[in-house]
Amino acid sequence: MAYTSDLRIKSFIKDVDVKVRHRLEAVGFQDRLFLRIFDESKEDAKLWRDGGLSFEDVKTKMHLGSNDAAWSIDNKIPVVVVEGTYGTERGQFGDGQLNRASHSYGVAVNGYIGVMLVPYKGQSFVKDGSRKDILVKNVNYAHATLHKGMVKLALEVSKDGKGKFLIIDPYEDGLLEDLIYNVVLDYFNKPNKLKEIVTYVLKEMEDYLGTYVFGARSKQVIRKLYNAAGKIISRNSRFYTQNLEALTTSTKRDGHGLLGKNLIEMHTSSEKIYSIFIRLDKDDLKVLQSRDSKEFQFLLNNPKIEVRCFNDLIFEDAVLKKQVVAFRTQNLHQETEKELIGKIQEAFNVGKIKIKE
């Protein structure tokens, strides 16, 4: 059987648990620390209070993503909750990494320490293509790095409340172990280095982020969104190209990354953001509203997000409108569609596509 990313993470967590318990024996707290971890992911999906590893958003009460494991005091109070992936070593080069953003986010907004365990840099073997370094004939690899949008979200959430969203590289030997050990000491008011460790992790994240601006190179970010009267109503919104199938079919899983992007934009903007689905109409939105999809329900119920569709758009350019109508049923991977996305972005930014409020 393949040694999957999930199995690797859970084995890593169990090894850390053994080491932490050995250290806690010296101070007598080894029996107060509990590790909640399941082999079956269906158990993870239950809320923490119901015996699972998921948390709900404090404002919308929507369930967010499940986690891989959690350490708690007396099996009651979670002190460190971990979601992990070796995605940067398994072909996740871009936005696919944001699929997990809501998992640790849910922990942090509830006031706990959520840890995203992921290698900052990875290497994946890939099929022949432009993104490669040739080792030998027909054996290619590509480098992947941690998505800086994830880091941006984690830092913003960590600034906003009592909880922390920390990103730790599993290859940084002993760091997760030190964090858990000192969390326990801190809980029982014993001398500890928890503050120093958290500060160190956040500083690593800040150094990695650098001067990064989320969406700066995206063809779908709208920096000036106009209403019907020609007034700018948003300077940080986005249009999406997912169709109904992408948001309702399990093989697509686009909803996970969609939620991740919206979470980042919510925490990097002081104003309401608009999420505009140019390939969906009012009937499609009704279908999504009726489904039990936590990702889309979060968008629909969040007071800081305005969800809009094709029917809400006002086009000044009839030719462009006709192209967008055709675009709703076309293959997104064709070069002509990439060019059209650039035209749509420009039309939004100069007010040639406006939105009904």
Q: Tell whether the model's pLDDT for residue 1 goes beyond 50.
A: no
The mean per-residue pLDDT over the stretch 268-293 comes to: 88
Q: Do 226 and 198 share a structural domain?
A: no
Q: Reduce the DSSP state of residue 295 to 3 states and report it.
A: helix
Note down the domain range covering 282: 221-355
- Total-model pTM: 0.87
pLDDT at position 336 is 58
Per-residue model confidence as pLDDT tens digits over 172-224: 999 999 999 999 999 999 999 999 999 999 999 999 999 888 777 788 999 99
Average pLDDT over every residue of 41-56: 90
Residue 252: the pLDDT is: 47
Rounded to whole angstroms, the Cα distance separating 302 from 304 reads 5
Considering the domain boundaries, does residue 199 fall inside one?
yes
Residues 91 and 164 occupy one common structural domain:
yes
Q: Is residue 216 part of a domain?
A: no
Q: 255-271, pLDDT tens digit by residue?
A: 666 888 888 888 888 88
Biggest CA pair distance of the chain: 75
**Chain mean pLDDT for the chain:** 87
Q: Considering the chain, what percentage of its residues have pLDDT values greater than 70? A: 91
Do residues 183 and 275 both lie within one domain? no
The verdict on residue 148 lying in a domain is yes
294, 62 in Cβ contact below 8 A?
yes
Residue 260 located in a structural domain: yes
Same domain, 31 and 150: yes
**For 294-349, what is each residue's pLDDT tens digit?**
778 888 888 889 999 999 999 999 999 999 988 877 665 555 577 889 999 999 99
The answer to whether residue 141 sits within a structural domain is: yes
Residues 90-113 pLDDT 10s: 877 777 888 889 999 999 999 999
Tell me the pLDDT band of 81, cut-offs 50, 70 and 90: very high
Contacts of 288 (CB under 8 A, 6+ apart): 244, 247, 248, 280, 296, 300
Task: Give the pLDDT confidence score for residue 71 in this predicted structure.
Answer: 98
Residue at a domain's end among 185, 209, 233: 209
Q: Judge if 169 and 273 occupy the same domain.
A: no
Q: How many CB atoms lie within 10 A of CB 165?
A: 30
pLDDT digits (tens, 9 = 90+) for 49-78: 999 999 998 888 888 889 999 999 999 999
Does residue 11 sit in the same domain as residue 95?
yes
Q: Are residues 235 and 197 in the same domain?
A: no
- Three state DSSP letters for 82-101: EEECCHHHCCCCCHHHHHHH
In the three-class reduction of DSSP (H, G, I as helix; E, B as strand; rest coil), residue 53 is classed as: coil
- 111 domain-assigned: yes
The answer to whether residue 214 is domain-embedded is no
CA angle 209, 63, 10 (to 5 degrees): 65
Q: Of 155, 184, 209, which closes a domain?
A: 209
Identify which has the larger pLDDT, 286 or 125.
286
Domain co-membership, 240 together with 306: yes
The structural domain count of the chain equals 2
The closest of 242, 263, 261, 262 to 253, measured between CA atoms, is 242
What average pLDDT does the segment 34-51 reach? 89
Q: What is the pLDDT of residues 133-144, one digit of tens each?
A: 555 566 677 788
Q: What is the pLDDT of residue 296?
A: 80
Highest mean pLDDT among 3-7, 286-290, 296-300, 308-312: 308-312
Alpha-carbon distance of 45 to 162, in angstroms, equals: 24
Q: What is the pLDDT of residue 107?
A: 96
Statement to judge: residues 163 and 284 lie in one domain:
no
Residues 320 and 350 in one domain: yes
Is residue 55 one of the residues assigned to a domain?
Answer: yes
209, 232, 259 - which closes a domain: 209
Indicate whether 74 and 201 sit together in one domain: yes
Position 2 scores a pLDDT of 42
